[in-house]
Structure 1
Amino acid sequence: MTNEKEEKEKEALTEPDHVHGLPDDRDDFSDLDTGWAWMVLLASFGTFFLIGNSMYAVGIIHSSLLDRYGEKVTLTSWAGALHTALMSLGGPLSTVVIDRFSCRTAITASGMFFVVGYLGTAFAETIETAIFTCGILAGTGAALGYTAAMVAVGFNFRRRRNLALGIAVSGVGAGLFVLAPLMQLSREFYGPMGFFIILAAMTANIVTFGQLCFPSKLELHTQRRRKLDSFRSTDSQNCFTSFKPYLNVVTNKGMVCLFFSMFFYCLGTYLVYLHLPTFIVTKGFTAVQASFLVSLSGILSLFGRLLTGMVANLNRINDTVLYSGSMGIVGIASFIYPFTANYFTGHVIYTVLLGLFFGSCYVSITAVSLKFVEISYVAAAIGLQFCFGGIGAIVGPVCAGIVVDAGGTYELSLIVAAVCIVLGMTFSAVTMCCKETNNDAILHIEETIEIPEKHPNNSATLHEEDKGSFLKHCQNGSGIDVKISE
């Protein structure tokens, strides 16, 4: 037993080969905003392009499953519901993979889960099997890739981070606009089985995009900081160390406000998108006109996210103001919308505003999170926010059903959604009163680590080669001083 402990401690002190890509000087993050960072941005855009399409075109998937199995709508809808909800609820899972391995590993695993999930659905003989393959496996793939693609951009850009995030997340709207019609055509031409095989082939490209996301010097720097935190901890603290990123995030008042902000915002917006097509039809317009308006919202989302990134990159508007302001515009428009819905112009104006501003907050989410947590914990912060958003995405449709079943109108449902969105805006605005973290100082922090002459929980003396290896590990451009204590 003692030998096993010594081996584990020795592994903790030795340095993997991949850290030699760290900067030679602690101020040298020269690969940010240039060079391969733009290839990572392209890979992130492609990942959002494919994941966004599969999530927002879940209605086509639902229809295909209904045609193939002929089961009840309630049972069949579980596949689509899990597929969508897991993208956000699985944010912490993606965070664990990012922190333990890298963004590259998380995105690559995302593509693999998608391929296995869709191929399994193509050959599934029962709807229960399809719920597992399409809902859980493919949904897990979405969870791994969505958070990692956003965090990867944050690790590769600093000066142009907001612009890069705007370009990356605009892939969601681009995927919906370009691929949704192709998905519908492939379903009609090849049938349900061929449709899911094509989906598997399309999402296999996420594996390629993942392989392009080589860790930047900043990402490797944050990995080193986590390893040093782990080294400081004794065996009795290892469990605590594993949860330290989450504890640092959930104990921050600013981040707690952002959690509730994302919860209420997703609750309201998912409720809106659930009832919007039916509401338009109940006002005397055709289903074709309703689908046109929803598509218009999706197309404008592409431009809205891109423009938000460009505006945020000018640094003339506070990121929190941009974040909460976009929520406020959607909330106020949702309040007014039911009173203008008798006119087609009213529907057009609302869908234009919804499309332009619905996704703007996701462009600023990294910049706003970095106001309250270190760069080392940004993956945990974003993952937990998406998790709270996923809970809201489930609660929203439930609330909508309760309102309508209790005799309420669709107008009332939309007003409830507007209230929730405004609450989301309010919680995000409150963060302006919370204490912020200086991440620029964290990148250049001076620290001193004392390496004991003996292991903390063992009488065995550290070997000289172990000390040398760890000293080399810590002093190779990390900005951290190390000394041996007696």
Structure 2
Amino acid sequence: MSPGGIAGCGAAKPQDQGWAWMVLLATVLLQGLTLGYPSCIGVFFTDLQREFQASNSETSWFPSIMVAVLHGGGPLCSILVKRFGCRFVVMLGGLLSSVGMVSSSFCRSIGQLYLTAGFITGLGSCFSFQAGVTVLGYYFVRWRTLANAIASTGVALGFTLWPLLSQYLLDEMGWRNTFLIFGGILLNGCVCGAIMRPVQLVSGSPRQSPPAEEPGRRAEGAQLSNGASSPHPELRQQSRRTTCFQTLQKYLAFDIFCQNKGYQIYAVGVTWMMMGFVLPHVYLVPYAIQNGVEERRAALLVSITGFINIFMRPLTGLLSGHSIFTGRRIYLFSLAALLCGLSNFICVISAEFSVLIVYCIIFSIAASGIGALFFQVLMDVVEMDRFSSALGLFTILESITLLIGPPLTGLLVDITSNFLYVFYASSFFLISAALFMGLSFCTLEKKNKSKDASKVPLDNPSKYQYNEIPTEPRSESQSPPAVVTSI
């Protein structure tokens, strides 16, 4: 048996069975430790403002940097996954997340918090989360939709438990000691990474493949070697530029973005949507506290959102996996974003605790649809062997709006002293993004149907239309490339 724990013979099919379910369990925990973690930052918002004498805009940069780096570090994560494998990258992410939170407990200024808890912890969470999502796509083929939905319940568990734990520890020992304890909790990402054995699907090969050298690095070495014998420095410089461009295209999927209309629409729509999607998570607790809700009850609002997501995400995954939704998951996703945007108007009506509970229930039902379908729709519009690269460009685009959204809204709150503008802004971005994606895919689908089938190249139709990846297990000759990781 290979070091990865899967027999290296050509008949081995580890997908959808055996150790794949342990990997799924590890991914559930991992998503709770990474994507679920920023949900508790709102609990510390008021204390951090008092500690560092910071405004709403200045304080909101802390969670913004964390979430933006968590999503925007995708290209770097993709490079590390290609070079060292998913297991190594997940464990590295767990270590960085822990170091960032431990360091943040000693911060003496809000700027230091940006670096430690914001950048370092965000980067670690990015490595763990995105590498975990990537390896899950190789372990599951037939049940991939269900696996992604179940994995996303980890985020819901994080939404439920992190705020409650945060409020308890904050009351008992203050934010500094709480951050120190969080550093130890986030170190469990290393344990999750250790469970993620490499997938070995090399036909006829009795051994595990060694870590593959990146094609870009091999090409670079060959070109530099050839360039060294060339008497013209201009040729060597041009060769380096070409290699650099090829590497960027490989890991940022520029070719997919230029050729795949479905990927273009989805990437732009989600990037715009994220400008408003994250705002309620950051400002709901401060908004409730400002309107007289007790701090413990305000933290409970976020936990209610997470608790409902635990049940709704798998249900959404099962529903979207039905054959009737084949090729139509993007419309479910757009509908969920639309409902999310409309639900924000409930907060405008009243800030009473009972009304906010109703808001959290409706918002969480809609958000569970977004969470369950977020990566599945991306896997639908791009081929699985390019998923890691497509995810890299996808996340770096949305990280821009994730970074600037909360601080800009916080600045608006500082000027107006009115948190209602947070929910107005969130509704605008969510509703407009939902309409854009739904109508654009509908238009694209009609154009594709009106085209003559002979005009569509048969070798790569995914470049021109919205396609579903196969739902049946692939044959050995069609199996995805092995995910090679360190032992």
Common fold, TM-score beyond 0.5? yes
After TM superposition, the structure 1 = structure 2 runs for residues 375-414 of structure 1, keeping only pairs within 5 Å, are: 375-401=384-410, 403-404=412-413, 410-411=419-420, 413-414=422-423
Give the CA deviation at 1:62. 5.0
Identity of aligned residues (%): 22
Distance in 2 (alpha carbons) for counterparts of 1:206 and 1:443:
31
* 1:381 aligned counterpart, secondary structure: helix
* 1:214 aligned counterpart, secondary structure: coil
Distance in 1 (alpha carbons) for counterparts of 2:166 and 2:419:
30
* 1:31 aligned counterpart, secondary structure: coil
1:84 matched residue in structure 2: 67
CA RMSD, aligned part only?
4.0
1:321 aligns with 2:328: no
* 1:32 aligned counterpart, secondary structure: coil
1:244 matched residue in structure 2: 249
After TM superposition, the structure 1 = structure 2 runs for residues 268-417 of structure 1, keeping only pairs within 5 Å, are: 268-277=276-285, 290-317=298-325, 318-334=328-344, 336-337=345-346, 340-341=349-350, 346-401=355-410, 403-404=412-413, 410-411=419-420, 413-417=422-426
The Cα offsets for residues 164-206 of structure 1, whole Å up to 9 and x where unpaired, read as 1111111122123234333333344444553333212111110
Instruction: Summarize the Cα distance change of 1:437–1:120 in structure 2 as closer, same or farther, 3 Å threshold.
Output: same
* Contact kept? 1:249, 1:380, Cα under 8 Å: no
**Structure 1 stretch displaced more, 136-145 or 82-91:** 82-91
Instruction: Summarize the Cα distance change of 1:179–1:370 in structure 2 as closer, same or farther, 3 Å threshold.
Output: closer
1:174 matched residue in structure 2: 157
Instruction: Summarize the Cα distance change of 1:344–1:477 in structure 2 as closer, same or farther, 3 Å threshold.
Output: closer
1:436 aligns with 2:459: no
What code does the residue aligned with 1:332 have? L
Give the CA deviation at 1:388. 2.7
What code does the residue aligned with 1:33 have? D
TM-score normalized with structure 1 length: 0.75
1:205 matched residue in structure 2: 188
The Cα offsets for residues 72-123 of structure 1, whole Å up to 9 and x where unpaired, read as 3565554443223211222222222223332212211111101221232334
Give the CA deviation at 1:404. 4.7
2:19 matched residue in structure 1: 36
* Contact kept? 1:225, 1:376, Cα under 8 Å: no
* Contact kept? 1:104, 1:211, Cα under 8 Å: yes
**Structure 1 stretch displaced more, 160-169 or 409-418:** 409-418
The Cα offsets for residues 235-293 of structure 1, whole Å up to 9 and x where unpaired, read as 34543442233223322221121112112221122233344445556777666654443
Instruction: Summarize the Cα distance change of 1:192–1:253 in structure 2 as closer, same or farther, 3 Å threshold.
Output: same
The Cα offsets for residues 55-85 of structure 1, whole Å up to 9 and x where unpaired, read as 1112345566567x64535655544432232
Give the CA deviation at 1:408. 9.5
What code does the residue aligned with 1:249 have? I
Instruction: Summarize the Cα distance change of 1:40–1:243 in structure 2 as closer, same or farther, 3 Å threshold.
Output: same
Q: 1:165 aligns with which of 138, 148, 172?
A: 148
Distance in 2 (alpha carbons) for counterparts of 1:341 and 1:219:
59
1:468 matched residue in structure 2: none
1:195 aligns with 2:204: no
What code does the residue aligned with 1:376 have? D
Distance in 2 (alpha carbons) for counterparts of 1:230 and 1:142:
27
Instruction: Summarize the Cα distance change of 1:302–1:426 in structure 2 as closer, same or farther, 3 Å threshold.
Output: same
1:116 aligns with 2:146: no
TM-score normalized with structure 2 length: 0.75
After TM superposition, the structure 1 = structure 2 runs for residues 57-136 of structure 1, keeping only pairs within 5 Å, are: 57-60=40-43, 70-73=52-55, 78-124=61-107, 128-136=111-119
Q: Unmatched 5+ residue regions in structure 1?
A: 1-16, 448-475, 479-486
Distance in 2 (alpha carbons) for counterparts of 1:248 and 1:442:
27
Distance in 1 (alpha carbons) for counterparts of 2:212 and 2:249:
12
Distance in 2 (alpha carbons) for counterparts of 1:374 and 1:219:
19
The Cα offsets for residues 271-325 of structure 1, whole Å up to 9 and x where unpaired, read as 3334444555677766665444333223212222222122223333232222222
* Contact kept? 2:62, 2:118, Cα under 8 Å: yes
* 1:145 aligned counterpart, secondary structure: helix
Distance in 1 (alpha carbons) for counterparts of 2:353 and 2:171:
31
Q: Unmatched 5+ residue regions in structure 2?
A: 224-238, 445-463, 482-487
Distance in 2 (alpha carbons) for counterparts of 1:437 and 1:98:
26
Q: Which has the larger radius of gyration?
A: 1
